[in-house]
């Protein structure tokens, strides 16, 4: 992939975040998602690539924009797979709470897992604990392994997990083991990324969330030198059938980093919609807006934090060609 794509895609998540942030706290998650989707698609159309959406807003018959299989880009440039989530954490935006992001992940064509829209059990850590976790081991064993890898006492380890009744057992076991917990309302992509930064105070992600979000998280962690593992959690016969059609015979198959994203290259960008541990959300003032974006590339391992200041009168449609 061209190196220049790294900077190009910042415009994509910035536009989505700027659009979604208008809806912060308004209790209308679909409107936030719709505005971000439209903006993201518009800007994607200006990027020099032959992009194909593999993770997007849904199947063609249910999503008019950014549907799976949609081809995007100017048509001149590399053939790439695109995974997008214009608003990762729509309910977060609706509530005006923490860690909603606009995110995109890009890899060479054929290199991203076409994850079905169903739940996935996940475990994720930052670089220091790579190779030490095992999704099939107990929560306690994983906490011990992370503590050892990070030279911490288990009481100093912080696990993050979606606050859901389905996670009661995991939460009980984390507490039993003596580790601490950061429960999150939504947004496990931000939570997975946070495990790679000491400043966030989070060491490991546990729990079940969306499989598409799992792929996007894995690309981010690939760029950061972290690790994620996942197991699909189909909930009914129809979902089990979808797994079979994807060629997944063993429903307990563990997806490792190379399964989520093959090859040595991938790019990830995420712009804060609402405030989070790593990125501030969009701030509007006097016809201007400020954004914070993280953009990174697996091949070079470069991680950049980019502040944008946007003159909204000069880009009413959020697209500068």
Ligand X SMILES: O=P(O)(O)OC[C@H]1O[C@](O)(COP(=O)(O)O)[C@@H](O)[C@@H]1O
Residue 280 CB coordination number (10 Å): 13
Of the candidate residues 22, 150, 152, 164, the single one contacting ligand X (CB under 6 A): 164
Q: What is the smallest separation between the CB atom of 24 and ligand X, expressed in angstroms?
A: 14
Q: What is the smallest separation between the CB atom of 173 and ligand X, expressed in angstroms?
A: 19
Residue whose pair of structure tokens reads 């995991």 in the numeric block: 170
139-147, 183-191, 197-205, 298-306 -> range binding ligand X (CB under 6 A): 183-191
Q: What is the smallest separation between the CB atom of 97 and ligand X, expressed in angstroms?
A: 11
Structure tokens given for 216: 């996007």
188 binds ligand X (CB under 6 A): yes
Of the candidate residues 34, 86, 116, 209, the single one contacting ligand X (CB under 6 A): 209
- Look up residue 99 and give its DSSP letter: -
Query: Judging by beta carbons within 10 Å of its beta carbon (0-12, 13-18, 19+), is residue 182 exposed, middle or buried?
Result: middle
Residue 68 CB coordination number (10 Å): 19
Of the candidate residues 88, 203, 227, 265, the single one contacting ligand X (CB under 6 A): 88
Residue closer to ligand X by CB (options 123, 186) is 186
103-111, 205-213, 222-230, 264-272 -> range binding ligand X (CB under 6 A): 205-213
What gap in Å lies between CA 193 and CA 126, rounded to an integer?
8
What gap in Å lies between CA 246 and CA 220, rounded to an integer?
24
Residue 2 CB coordination number (10 Å): 12
Rounded to whole angstroms, what are the CA distances from 127 to 15, 107, 146, 203, 220?
30, 21, 11, 10, 12
What gap in Å lies between CA 136 and CA 229, rounded to an integer?
10
Residue closer to ligand X by CB (options 1, 269) is 269
Of the candidate residues 89, 126, 230, 281, the single one contacting ligand X (CB under 6 A): 89
44-52, 60-68, 85-93, 172-180 -> range binding ligand X (CB under 6 A): 85-93
Task: Please list every residue from 251 through 310 that binds ligand X, using CB under 6 A.
Answer: none
Q: What is the smallest separation between the CB atom of 121 and ligand X, expressed in angstroms?
A: 11
Of the candidate residues 6, 19, 37, 90, the single one contacting ligand X (CB under 6 A): 90
Residue closer to ligand X by CB (options 73, 230) is 230
186 binds ligand X (CB under 6 A): yes
57 binds ligand X (CB under 6 A): no
14 binds ligand X (CB under 6 A): no
Rounded to whole angstroms, what are the CA distances from 132 to 139, 144, 202, 236?
13, 10, 16, 32
210 binds ligand X (CB under 6 A): yes
DSSP letters of 254-291? PB-HHHHB-SS--EEEEEESS--SSS---EEETTEEEE
40 binds ligand X (CB under 6 A): no
91 binds ligand X (CB under 6 A): yes
- Give every CB contact of residue 285 below 8 A, 6+ residues apart in sequence: none
Of the candidate residues 70, 203, 213, 227, the single one contacting ligand X (CB under 6 A): 213
Element (H, E) at 177: helix 168-177
Give the CA-trace dihedral at 32, 33, 38, 41, to 10 degrees. 140
Q: What is the smallest separation between the CB atom of 92 and ligand X, expressed in angstroms?
A: 7
Of the candidate residues 187, 226, 276, 281, the single one contacting ligand X (CB under 6 A): 187
Residues engaged in binding ligand X (CB under 6 A): 87-91, 162, 164, 186-189, 209-210, 213
């Amino acid at each position: 992939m061209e190196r220049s794509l790294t900077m190009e895609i910042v415009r994509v998540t910035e536009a989505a975040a700027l659009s979604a942030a208008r809806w912060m706290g308004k209790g209308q998650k679909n409107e936030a998602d719709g505005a971000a989707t439209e903006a993201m698609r518009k800007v994607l159309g200006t990027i020099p690539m032959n992009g194909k959406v593999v993770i997007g807003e849904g199947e063609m018959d249910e999503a008019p924009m950014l549907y799976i299989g949609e081809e995007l880009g100017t048509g001149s440039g590399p053939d790439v797979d695109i995974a997008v989530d214009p608003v990762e954490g729509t309910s977060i935006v609706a509530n005006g709470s923490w860690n909603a992001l606009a995110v995109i992940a890009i890899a060479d064509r054929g290199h991203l897992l076409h994850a079905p829209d169903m739940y996935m059990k996940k475990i994720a850590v930052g670089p220091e604990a790579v190779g030490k976790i095992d999704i099939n081991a107990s929560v306690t064993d994983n906490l011990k392994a992370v503590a050892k890898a990070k030279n911490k006492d288990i009481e100093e380890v912080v696990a993050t997990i979606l606050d859901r009744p389905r996670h009661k057992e995991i939460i009980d076991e984390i507490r039993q083991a003596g580790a601490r917990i950061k429960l999150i309302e939504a947004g496990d992509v931000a939570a997975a990324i946070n495990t790679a930064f000491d400043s966030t105070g989070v060491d490991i992600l546990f729990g079940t969330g969306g499989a598409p979000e799992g792929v996007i998280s894995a690309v981010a962690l690939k760029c950061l030198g972290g690790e994620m593992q996942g197991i699909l959690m189909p909930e009914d016969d129809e979902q089990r059938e979808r797994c079979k059609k994807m060629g997944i015979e063993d429903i307990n198959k563990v997806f490792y980093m190379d399964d989520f994203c093959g090859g040595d290259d991938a790019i990830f960008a995420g712009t804060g919609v609402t405030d989070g541990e790593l990125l501030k959300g969009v701030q509007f003032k006097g016809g201007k807006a400020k954004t914070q974006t993280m953009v990174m590339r697996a091949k070079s391992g470069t991680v950049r934090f980019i502040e944008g200041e946007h003159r909204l009168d000069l880009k009413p449609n959020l697209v500068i060609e």
